[in-house]
Chain A
């Protein structure tokens, strides 16, 4: 701050005046996907949730103030197999009538080895809340950015397909979730 010019200093001071001023992004839903891979009868398949809302606050230079808040419409599940989708939304699995939404909110961001960023948070799925860590890859391109997150989950941690469907040779327990978001610069909270 010692060598700064007047205007820049003012901007910095203004910035400091508003706490937790991370960059807010708007999600371009048409170019964003929330997919997952799992196995069925030991054959890998990919599914996706076509509808989700994500509030993304992220500044790669200041990850301590970053925050993700994501709500997923479970009924928008699509695994390119109508019987499987129908079954998956039923009471033995997602039980979408009772639990139509999944929710993920971050609690802390930290820098990990190899320049990776880890977002720790809590996922609430089928009424069960569990800590989940996302690996975050953020790539800014001017006024847009791509945000890729991956997280390994265990379906049985959330009671999805418990009981007679627990056998992992029928449906794999491990599920890798991958979010690919195209972000556009939005207005920072508190205005500019």
Chain B
């Protein structure tokens, strides 16, 4: 599996980024929805701290992923794909990138306006984005964080649904090339 992407499929690094971030986002969603239901105990404080640490990790990984993506070309869309589907797919991917950046940023913003600590896995202190406690912007930041999350859930349903549709109905390589690699071998691709 080549490190870099080519015409046929995604490189190893893009796939690693994709699946690592995917797993973290699913975990983060489950943790986020559960933690707000918890009674106030030290465990709740620790779970919130974990949610914040994972969120900052996702933000850093997404930035690295975007930086890497800018250095290479994406594989070609399947030739059978109509123009509107290509456009819809690319728009959805762009929206997902925007959301997976904006959700951790809005969480960081909310945490800053709440004047709550942010210590990455207990290791180092991450400073706030704003000038400390801000009771005016705090509820807005939280609303933004939650709203963006539910938009992400809706778009991910479309993303996963489209991947499965490509694989099982279209029987093309769209899902394969992000997982085990493309079937048709042209040149260097596995």
For chain B, residues 142 to 177, give those with C-beta under 8 angstroms from any C-beta of chain A: none
User: Whose C-beta in chain B lies nearest to the C-beta of A163?
Assistant: B42
Please tell me if the beta carbons of B45 and A81 are within 8 angstroms of each other in the complex. Answer: no
A189 at the A/B interface (Cβ < 8 Å)?
no
| Contacting pair A80 B132 (CB below 8 A) | yes
Binary contact track B77-120/A, C-beta < 8 Å → 1, others 0: 00000000000000000000000000000000000001111010
Q: Are A81 and B114 in contact (CB under 8 A)?
A: yes
Q: How far, in Å, is B121 (CB) from chain A's closest CB?
A: 12
Bound complex: CA A41 to CA B42 (Å): 10
> A29 within 8 Å of B by Cβ?
no
Do A81 and B42 touch (CB < 8 A)? no
A80-B42 contact, Cβ under 8 Å, with A42-B122, A43-B125: no
A-B contacts, CB under 8 A, total? 36
Report yes or no: B133 in contact with A81, Cβ–Cβ below 8 A: yes
Total residues of chain B contacting the partner, CB 8 A? 15
Closest residue of chain A to B45 (Cβ to Cβ) is A170
B119 and A164 contact, CB distance less than 8 A: no
Give Cα A115 to B134, complex, Å. Answer: 42
* A41 touching B41, Cβ below 8 Å: no
Please name all residues of chain A whose beta carbon is closer than 8 Å to the beta carbon of B117 when the two chains form the complex: 40-43, 45
Interface residue? A55 (CB, 8 A): no
Q: How far is A45 from B114 in the complex, measured between Cα atoms in Å?
A: 13
Given A165-B42, A167-B42, A170-B45, A41 and B119 contact (CB-CB distance below 8 Å)? yes
Q: Interface digits, B121-139 against A, CB 8 Å rule (1 contact, 0 not)?
A: 0100100000011010000
A-B complex: 4 closest residue pairs judged by Cβ atoms: A80-B133, A43-B117, A81-B115, A41-B117
B residues sitting closer than 8 Å to A (CB atoms) are 40-42, 45, 49, 114-117, 119, 122, 125, 132-133, 135
Task: Beyond A43-B117, A43-B125, list 11 extra A-B contacts (CB 8 Å).
Answer: A42-B119, A43-B119, A45-B117, A80-B132, A81-B133, A83-B114, A83-B116, A84-B116, A164-B42, A165-B42, A167-B42
